[in-house]
């Protein structure tokens, strides 16, 4: 490996050939400001169009300033990261960006979390010396994401996520010069496009140009309506990230505080999506074993591999891009929708509440869940199974509005019967978790033997594509795992070509799974945050007394009192779905 010697701000440093000035500087504690640049280490995700020029530095002997994010260090380079010329250029660049940016920070949804705002403060900008035209575009509202392109600074992070990471290909920069803007083809609205609403564009947008549709107002109105019973469910990944919104260390589990906060906000019943995750395993696991056993018995008609179907962005992705494979994913609805269906039937009946008077709110790490809850097939006579899906960030806003000091809350429990869950339900929040939960149940049901170990390390990790083989007492089950839709596409191409080696595949749209969802607290490019959330999820699993979905006593009771058995007619009606060709 060739090594390069250089100095940055008079500090000598040796780096590998190919290292950028930005990375070299950061390795010795010199924090050159950036704006368009974003790098998710370990995930091979990097955006460095060199477009914003905020990271320019002075290189001795070079005529012009060099953008640190996309200039490689070379032998003998002498760099000054904060020369007067570099600092002046940086300030000018930011002032020019601000001159074409709406000055509505006080009421912007991204205020306090905006990279542009932070940068302007960091550089101490107190006046904008330039006046010129301001770009103006029509606002585009979809079921999940709002595009407000007046606030776009053309960093192209969203374009990188949408095209290279997710391979969805909805967003592209169009037009030229001052009229350039990031847009779907033909400037159509997002909801006419093939957008999956994965929300990764929202997760990386440095400004308020891309945000989620805000449902907090509607939830507050429901909570203050005395004729309504309002129940809430919380997705597994939320408890591993919500604390960050209140200044807590990433990876702090706040399950108990979250339940307490929801109760103080006035929800009549505080339930858990983890319960529905256990239910999902009962249905999806049974479906998996059904198909597998037919296949092992020599039935060539049966379709394998079976694909998980919990992720709404992934469902929309294959409906648009691989409609010919729509018979392959499990027909099981996602935990959010299973919860809604059970709440508005089983629970409503039990409590003697009319369907129209029961409001189901979900707290999700996801923006696509907003779209999913609005799909026609998940409503009865126009009344949706899930009325409102809020993101983790929206819940934090609600908690603030409720004047709740989150950090000082006691730990409280979820309510029953829809609040009890096992460790298997919790790990749904991370890549590899759904399939591990399925394996724990499928193994015991299939072999009739108790598992000796519950931690399937071979299914865990952060690599985008993983595979493992699990020994089902002599029968080897091949499992594939993908997170990020670009990785999912690779597995789908294999299936389409007829040479997939897998029996079962788990797919999650977001890098890291739901812990890295588009509705989570912003990670600002720090992938360590995702790893800490992942560790928190596995810690919660380990702390549970019950760690296998089929041992959840309330799930067993639900089948006994209401559903009969997995894949029963009632279960099919309430817990399964169908997919549509949207190509």
Partner 1 sequence: MPKIKLAEKTVELIREICAQFNNQETELINVLHQVQHKLGYLPAEVQEVIAKELNASVAKVYGVVTFYSFFTMLPQGQHPISICMGTACYVRGAEKVLTEFKRQLGIEVGQTSADGKFSLSCLRCVGACGLAPVVLVGEKVYGRVSPQQVSKIIAEYQDGCASAQSA
Catalytic residues: 284, 287, 310, 330, 369, 372, 377, 514
> How many other CB atoms sit within 10 Å of the CB of residue 410?
8
User: What is the closest distance, in whole angstroms, from the C-beta atom of residue 183 to partner 1 in the complex?
Assistant: 7
Residue 174 in contact with partner 1, rule: CB under 8 A: yes
Closer Cβ to partner 1, 337 or 487, answer by number: 487
Q: How far is the CB of 314 from partner 1 (least distance, A)?
A: 18
Which part of the chain contacts partner 1 (CB under 8 A), choosing from 38-46, 183-191, 345-353, 479-487?
183-191
Output the CA angle 71-77-82, nearest 5 degrees.
75
Does residue number 186 form part of the binding site for partner 1 (CB under 8 A)?
Answer: yes
CA 289, 294, 297, 298 dihedral sign is negative
List the one residue out of 97, 57, 131, 43 whose CA is nearest residue 206.
97
49 binds partner 1 (CB under 8 A): no
Rounded to the nearest whole angstrom, what is the least distance from the CB of residue 377 to partner 1 in the complex? 22
Q: Which residues ranging from 454 to 473 are in contact with partner 1 (CB under 8 A)? A: none
CB of 184 to partner 1, least distance (A): 6
Residue from 11, 16, 82, 192 binding partner 1 (CB under 8 A):
192
Q: Between residue 522 and residue 541, which ones bind partner 1 under the rule CB under 8 A?
A: none
Q: Which residue has the tokens 């959840």?
A: 552
Instruction: Tell me which residue of 486, 529, 535, 532 sits closest to 509, measured CA to CA.
Output: 486
Considering the complex, state which of residue 5 and residue 175 has its C-beta at the smaller distance from partner 1.
175
Asked if 135 touches partner 1 (CB under 8 A), the answer is no
Candidate residues 51, 67, 143, 184; the one interacting with partner 1 per rule CB under 8 A: 184
CB of 181 to partner 1, least distance (A): 10
Q: How far is the CB of 72 from partner 1 (least distance, A)?
A: 24
Cis peptide before 305 (omega within 30 of 0): yes
DSSP code for 521: P
When the beta carbons of 288 and 492 are compared against partner 1, the nearer one is 492
Residue whose CB is less far from partner 1, 170 or 332: 170
Among 3, 14, 103, 188, binds partner 1 (CB under 8 A): 188
Q: Please say whether the beta carbons of 360 and 340 come within 8 A.
A: yes
Please name the residue ranges forming H helices in 18-139: 21-27, 84-99, 115-122
Q: Which is nearer to partner 1, 185 or 401 (CB)?
A: 185
Query: Among positive and negative, which fits the CA dihedral 321, 324, 328, 329?
Result: positive
In the list 126, 176, 300, 452, the residue contacting partner 1 (rule: CB under 8 A) is: 176
| Closer residue to partner 1, CB minimum distance, 136 or 453 | 136
Note whether 163 binds partner 1 by CB under 8 A.
Answer: yes
Q: Which of 8, 66, 108, 171 binds partner 1 (CB under 8 A)?
A: 171
Instruction: Report which of 306, 292, 378 is spatially closest to residue 336, judged by C-alpha positions.
Output: 378
**Residues near partner 1 (CB under 8 A), total:** 16
Peptide bond between residue 465 and the one before it cis (omega within 30 degrees of 0): no
Minimum distance from residue 316 beta carbon to partner 1 (Å)? 16
Query: Which CB, 192 or 542, lies closer to partner 1?
Result: 192
8 A C-beta contact, residue 140 and residue 179: no
Give the long-range contacts of residues 52-57, CB within 8 A, separation 24 or more: 52/93, 52/97, 52/153, 52/154, 52/155, 53/89, 53/93, 54/90, 54/93, 54/94, 54/119, 55/22, 55/90, 56/86, 56/89, 56/90, 56/93, 57/21, 57/25, 57/32, 57/81, 57/83, 57/86
Among 80, 113, 135, 172, binds partner 1 (CB under 8 A): 172
Q: In what order do the strands lie in the sheet with 140-141?
A: 140-141, 145-147, 210-212
CB count, 10 Å around CB of 232? Answer: 29
Place of tokens 């591993």: 240
Point out which residues bind partner 1 (CB under 8 A). 163, 169-176, 183-186, 188, 192-193
């Amino acid at each position: 490996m060739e090594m390069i010697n250089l100095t940055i701000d008079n500090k000598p440093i040796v780096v590998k050939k190919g290292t950028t000035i930005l990375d070299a500087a950061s390795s010795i504690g010199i924090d050159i400001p950036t704006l368009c640049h974003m790098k998710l280490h370990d995930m091979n995700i990097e955006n460095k169009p060199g477009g914003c020029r905020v990271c320019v530095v002075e290189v001795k002997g070079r005529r012009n300033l060099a953008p640190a994010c996309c200039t490689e260090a070379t032998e003998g380079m002498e760099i000054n990261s904060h020369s007067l010329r570099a600092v002046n250029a940086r300030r000018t660049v930011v002032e020019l960006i601000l001159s074409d940016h709406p000055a509505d920070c006080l009421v912007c949804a991204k205020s306090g979390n905006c990279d542009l705002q932070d940068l302007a403060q960091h550089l101490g900008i107190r006046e904008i010396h330039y006046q010129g035209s301001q770009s103006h575009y029509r606002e585009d509202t979809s079921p999940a994401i709002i595009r407000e392109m007046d606030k776009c600074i053309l960093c192209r992070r969203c374009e990188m996520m949408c095209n290279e990471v997710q391979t969805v290909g909805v967003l592209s920069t169009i037009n030229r010069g001052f009229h350039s803007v990031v847009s779907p083809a033909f400037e159509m609205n997002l909801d006419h496009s093939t957008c999956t609403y994965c929300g990764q564009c929202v997760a990386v947008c440095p400004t308020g140009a891309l945000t989620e549709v805000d449902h907090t107002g509607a939830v507050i109105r429901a909570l203050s309506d005395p004729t309504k019973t309002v129940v809430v469910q919380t997705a597994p990944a939320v408890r591993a990230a919500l604390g960050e919104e209140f200044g807590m260390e990433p990876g702090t589990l706040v399950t108990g505080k979250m339940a307490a906060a929801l109760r103080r906000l006035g929800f009549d019943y505080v339930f858990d999506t983890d319960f529905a995750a256990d239910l999902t395993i009962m249905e999806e696991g049974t479906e998996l074993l059904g198909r597998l056993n037919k296949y092992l018995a020599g039935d060539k008609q049966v379709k394998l591999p079976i694909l998980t179907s919990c992720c709404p962005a992934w469902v929309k992705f294959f409906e648009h891009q691989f409609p010919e494979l729509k018979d392959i994913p499990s027909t099981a609805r996602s935990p959010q929708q299973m919860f809604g269906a059970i709440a508005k039937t089983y629970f409503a009946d039990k409590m003697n509440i009319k369907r129209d008077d029961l409001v189901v709110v979900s707290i999700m790490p996801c923006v696509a869940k907003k779209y999913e809850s609005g799909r026609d097939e998940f409503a009865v006579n126009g009344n949706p199974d899930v009325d409102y899906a809020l993101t983790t960030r929206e819940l934090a806003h609600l908690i603030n509005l409720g004047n709740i000091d989150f950090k000082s809350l006691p730990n409280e429990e979820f309510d029953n019967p829809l609040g009890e869950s096992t460790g298997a339900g919790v790990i749904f929040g991370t890549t590899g978790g759904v399939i591990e939960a399925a394996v724990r149940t499928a193994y015991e049901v299939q072999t009739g033997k108790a598992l000796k170990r519950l931690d399937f390390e071979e299914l865990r990790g952060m690599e985008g594509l993983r595979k493992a083989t699990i020994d089902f007492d002599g029968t080897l089950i091949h499992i594939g795992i993908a997170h990020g839709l670009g990785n999912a596409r690779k597995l789908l191409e294999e299936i389409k070509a007829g040479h997939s080696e897998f029996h079962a595949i788990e797919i999650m749209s977001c890098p890291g799974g739901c812990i890295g969802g588009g509705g989570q607290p912003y990670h600002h490019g720090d992938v360590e945050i995702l790893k800490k959330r992942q560790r928190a999820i596995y810690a919660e699993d380990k702390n549970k007394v019950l760690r296998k979905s089929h041992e959840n006593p309330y799930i067993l009771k639900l089948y006994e009192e209401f559903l009969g058995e997995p894949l029963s007619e009632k279960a099919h009606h309430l817990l399964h779905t169908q997919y549509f060709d949207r190509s």
